[in-house]
């Protein structure tokens, strides 16, 4: 099937690919710093131009796969599949294999992306952006881990998950006392149901004792800034992207979150870093300045590079007058980091929270849902 996207210039491709082939495609696209939609488009165009018969691809156990194609390419591709006497799924698999063969990997290792959604100011929509971004990435085929790193646990509650009680194993245990942990952290994650995500989205719930994380890090004997990475590193092989819903804090826990999102050796620019939700008003700009000062201190202290991947102007309503409209223009005028999306203040997000469902499952065609997909595409 295909459905037009909001911009009208591309249309959604929904088909199936074997899990191994889908993973190879994503890894290769990441290695070459190529958008997934561009890789698939190039593969289909190469398949259409290939005059000789291609060997069949084993598509047994193929799973749902979706991306965006230039408008009209879907229809011509379907017609060509019919002409060549192959199924649409087989044709797509052949196109992906052909693209992989024509675009060999370089020397860069595959690195799990780390997207740290953060702002020192509370109430700007970090949780909504974290959840929506993770859902959009999973919808497009990424294996995504969404981490509730905020001790308030709003993300867990909004997705109908219970926070881990104090004293039980949690992310905090694996950060501060990993040697005492009795089970892998992966076992504490919860799969998010829904046909849109196809078991590709997992949540690590909040922990009640995360309120004590800053004080625990104060007396932590290891490198405090690397505590989050130390805990999450064993999970990275299972996910393409890890999204962190950060606390509204400038403490040690946030230091560890920012450090986790740094650009690693061999990782290409624009893959990992900070996604910063803001509002179109003055106090949000002040909080952004405080966050940037914290980032600057960390990069100097530890000689690292932390990229600001983009801003999300959240809960925007032009009817609030000059403060809103002028603030939006100031955010856009920054240029770097870019504004990834301007998300309107509409009812669907609040309704999804009330019924404790993912936004992209509750209202998949809402403006807010489309803006979450826009953020994901802007980070591709």
We report the CATH number of the domain holding residue 166 as 3.40.50.300
Question: What is the number of structural domains in the chain?
Answer: 2
Q: How confident is the model at residue 351 (pLDDT cuts 50, 70, 90)?
A: very high
For residue 329, pLDDT over 60 is answered with: yes
Domain shared by 69 and 171, yes or no:
no
CA angle 348/349/354 to nearest 5° reads 95
Distance of CA 114 to the CA centre of its chain: 8
Banded model confidence at residue 36, pLDDT cuts 50, 70, 90: confident
Q: What is the pLDDT of residue 109?
A: 59
The yes-or-no verdict on residue 4 having pLDDT over 60 is no
Question: Would residue 2 count as lying in a domain?
Answer: no
pLDDT band at 145 (very low <50, low <70, confident <90, very high): very high
Same domain, 243 and 337: yes
pLDDT in tens, 226-280: 899 999 999 999 999 999 999 988 889 999 999 999 998 878 899 999 999 998 8
What is the average pLDDT value for the chain, to the nearest integer? 89
Output the CA angle 160-166-172, nearest 5 degrees: 90
Same domain, 97 and 137: no
Q: Which pLDDT score, from 0 to 100, does residue 108 have? A: 54
Query: Which pLDDT does position 107 carry in this prediction?
Result: 57
Residue 338: the pLDDT is 94
Q: What is the mean pLDDT of residues 369-375?
A: 94
What are the E-state strand segments in the chain? Answer: 10-17, 63-70, 113-117, 144-148, 190-191, 201-204, 241-245, 273-278, 308-316, 339-344
The whole domain housing 67 covers: 10-102
* Distances, alpha carbon 286 to alpha carbons 242, 279, 297, 307, in Å: 28, 11, 17, 19
DSSP string, 251-319: SHHHHHHHHHTSPPTTPPTTSSEEEEEE-SSHHHHHHHHHHHHHHHHHHHHHT----EEEEEEEEE-GG
Burial class (CB within 10 angstroms; exposed 0-12, middle 13-18, buried 19+) of 354: exposed
CA separation for the pair 209, 188 (Å, rounded): 15
Which of residues 60, 78, 102 is at a domain's end? 102
Say whether both 258 and 312 belong to one domain.
Answer: yes
19 with 167, same domain? no
168 & 76 share domain: no
pLDDT band at 1 (very low <50, low <70, confident <90, very high): very low
Q: 349 in a domain, yes or no?
A: yes
Rounded to whole angstroms, what are the CA distances from 376 to 12, 54, 234, 293?
15, 33, 25, 26
- For the segment 144-156, the average pLDDT, to the nearest whole number, is 94
239 shares a domain with 172? yes
Q: Check pLDDT > 70 for residue 225.
A: yes
Which of 102, 137, 154 lies at the terminal end of a domain, its last residue?
102
Structural Rg of the chain based on CA atoms: 21
Q: Is residue 81 part of a domain?
A: yes
Among 156-165, 185-194, 214-223, which is the least confidently predicted range? 214-223
363 and 295 in a common domain: yes
CB burial readout 12-27, b (16+ within 10 A) else e:
bbebbbbeebbebbbb
Alpha-carbon distances, residue 15 vs 63, 92, 272 (angstroms): 8, 8, 28
80-139 tens-digit pLDDT: 999 999 999 999 999 999 999 999 876 555 789 999 999 988 888 899 999 999 999 999
Q: Does 1 map to a domain? A: no
Shared domain for 241 and 274, answered yes or no, is yes
Choose the final residue of a domain: 41, 76, 102.
Answer: 102
Q: Quote the pLDDT of residue 324.
A: 87
- pLDDT per residue over 179-193, tens digit each? 788 889 999 999 988
What average pLDDT does range 8-18 have in this prediction?
Answer: 80
Phi and psi of 114, rounded to 5°? -125, 115
Q: Give the global pTM.
A: 0.75
Distance CA 39, CA 371 (A): 23
Is residue 299, in this structure, part of any structural domain at all?
yes
Is 82 inside any structural domain? yes
In this structure, the answer to whether residues 145 and 286 fall within a common structural domain is yes
Rounded Cα distance between 74 and 82, Å, is: 13
Coil vs helix vs strand at 160: coil
Q: Coil, strand or helix: which one is 11?
A: strand
The reply to whether 223 falls in a domain is yes
Q: Are residues 52 and 74 in the same domain?
A: yes
The share of the chain scoring above pLDDT 70, in percent, equals 96
pLDDT range class, residue 221, cuts 50, 70, 90: confident
- Within a domain: residue 107? no
CB count in 10 Å sphere of residue 315? 22
Same domain, 20 and 66: yes
Say whether 9 sits in a helix, a strand or coil: coil
């Amino acid at each position: 099937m295909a459905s037009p996207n909001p911009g009208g210039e591309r249309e959604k491709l929904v088909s199936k690919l074997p899990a191994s082939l889908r993973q190879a495609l994503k890894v290769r696209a990441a290695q070459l710093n190529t958008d997934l939609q561009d890789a698939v488009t190039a593969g289909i165009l190469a398949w259409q131009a290939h005059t000789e018969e291609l060997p069949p691809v084993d598509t047994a156990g193929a799973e749902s796969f979706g991306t965006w194609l230039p408008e009209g390419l879907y229809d011509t591709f379907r017609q060509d599949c019919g002409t060549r006497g192959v199924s649409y799924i087989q044709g797509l698999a052949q196109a992906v294999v052909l693209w992989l063969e024509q675009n060999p990997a370089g020397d860069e290792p595959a690195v799990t992306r780390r997207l740290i959604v953060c702002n020192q100011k509370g109430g700007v929509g970090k949780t909504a952006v974290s959840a929506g971004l993770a859902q959009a990435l999973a919808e497009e085929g990424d294996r995504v881990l969404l981490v509730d790193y905020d001790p308030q646990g709003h993300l867990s509650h909004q997705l109908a998950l219970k926070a881990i009680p104090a004293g039980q194993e949690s992310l905090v245990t694996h950060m501060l006392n990993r040697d005492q942990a009795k089970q892998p952290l992966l076992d504490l994650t919860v799969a998010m149901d829904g046909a849109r995500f196809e078991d590709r989205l997992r949540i690590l719930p909040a922990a009640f004792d995360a309120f004590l994380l800053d004080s625990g890090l104060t007396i932590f004997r290891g490198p405090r800034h690397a505590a989050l990475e130390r805990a999450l590193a064993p999970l990275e092989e299972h996910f393409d992207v890890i999204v962190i819903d950060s606390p509204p804090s400038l403490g040690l826990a946030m230091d560890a979150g920012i450090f986790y999102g740094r650009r690693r050796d061999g990782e290409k620019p624009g893959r990992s870093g900070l996604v910063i939700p803001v509002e179109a008003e003055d106090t949000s700009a002040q909080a952004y300045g405080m966050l940037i000062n914290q980032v600057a201190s960390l990069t100097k202290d530890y000689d690292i590079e932390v990229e600001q991947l983009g801003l999300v102007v959240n809960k925007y309503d032009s009817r609030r007058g000059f403060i809103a409209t002028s603030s939006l223009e100031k955010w856009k005028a920054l240029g770097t980091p870019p504004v990834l999306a301007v998300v309107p203040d509409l009812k669907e997000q609040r309704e999804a929270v009330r019924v404790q469902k993912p936004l992209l499952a509750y209202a998949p065609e809402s403006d807010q849902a489309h803006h979450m997909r826009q953020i994901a595409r802007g980070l591709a």
